[in-house]
Amino acid sequence: MGWFDHVLGSESMQNQEQEISLGPLGLSLISKVNFDSILRLLLDGKSDVPIPESEMSIFAESFIDLGNTYWLSRYFLDPGNHWLQIHTHGNNDGLQVKSIILFETFVSTDIDSGERLNAWVIPWDLIGNPTLTHEGLEYSREWGIGAGQTALLPLTEYLHHEDDEDDQDPEPIMHRSVLYSRDIGLTNRREFLLFGVDDDTKFTIARGISLYSSDLHVTHPGWTS
């Protein structure tokens, strides 16, 4: 049984040669993902998050333990810079999907100076404030407590690539990040900005959009349950 089973207690699929572990929504390294074409029409004029038009493969998956059986599961899509984040609660048959966000990373730069950070999109010293303006749009902070500026939230992500050996331990990555969101006028859909520092060496900005499970079409070509 794969390493992801030990994290989320997911069911597995098996053929004569190999056993594959499935995470929430049936996502895994063998999955192909398509996005409903209506989603692009629905978001037109509401959000600039690009929705992939072609079928996507998953080249890496990861998990973040938030405590009390809350998890973030992430699936990194190919081609491009998109990734899915699934927020879940529980284990095994009691796993509940709390939210689904499609992100696109649009800034990724090595950290070598404060001047370089301040050159990207938003001055570094504004990140962590309760509200933040990007391209004329105001976002509200989702992570962090208190009325003033908050420190970036530390999280450890465990990453597993498609070409890793089956018994290879996932790669730990230390994140410090803060999430912002804004209303886009659609029921239960918001747009997100996620600012992050990975292992204190790389600064990233990703924008995301809320999804329903019906927005995704997940398949497992060549495999049967």
Sign of the CA dihedral with 153 first, then 197, 178, and 118 last? positive
For residue 13, pLDDT beyond 50: no
112 pLDDT above the threshold of 90? no
Which residues are CB-contacts of 140 (< 8 A; sequence separation ≥ 6)? 130, 131, 180, 181, 182
**CA 55 remoteness from chain centre:** 18
Instruction: Choose from 15-29, 51-65, 147-161, 165-179 the range with maximum mean pLDDT.
Output: 51-65
According to the model, what pLDDT value does residue 199 have?
81
What does the alpha-carbon distance between residue 123 and residue 128 come to, in Å, rounded to a whole number?
11
Handedness of CA 89, 27, 36, 40 (dihedral sign): positive
Model confidence at 9: pLDDT above 80: no
The whole-number pLDDT of residue 65 equals: 96
Q: Work out the average pLDDT over 15-37.
A: 80
CB 61 within 8 A of CB 23: yes
In sign, the C-alpha dihedral spanning 147, 127, 154, 192 is positive
Mean pLDDT over 96-101 rounds to: 97
162 band by pLDDT with thresholds 50, 70 and 90:
confident
Provide the token pair at 67: 């405590």
Where do we find the tokens 């995704």?
216
User: How many C-beta atoms lie closer than 10 Å to residue 8's C-beta?
Assistant: 21
Phi and psi (nearest 5°) for 57?
Answer: -95, 165
What's the pLDDT band for 144 if we cut at 50, 70, 90? confident
CB 72 within 8 A of CB 173: no
Mean pLDDT, rounded, for 193-202: 87
**Does 215 have pLDDT greater than 50?**
yes
- Give the pLDDT score at 12: 42
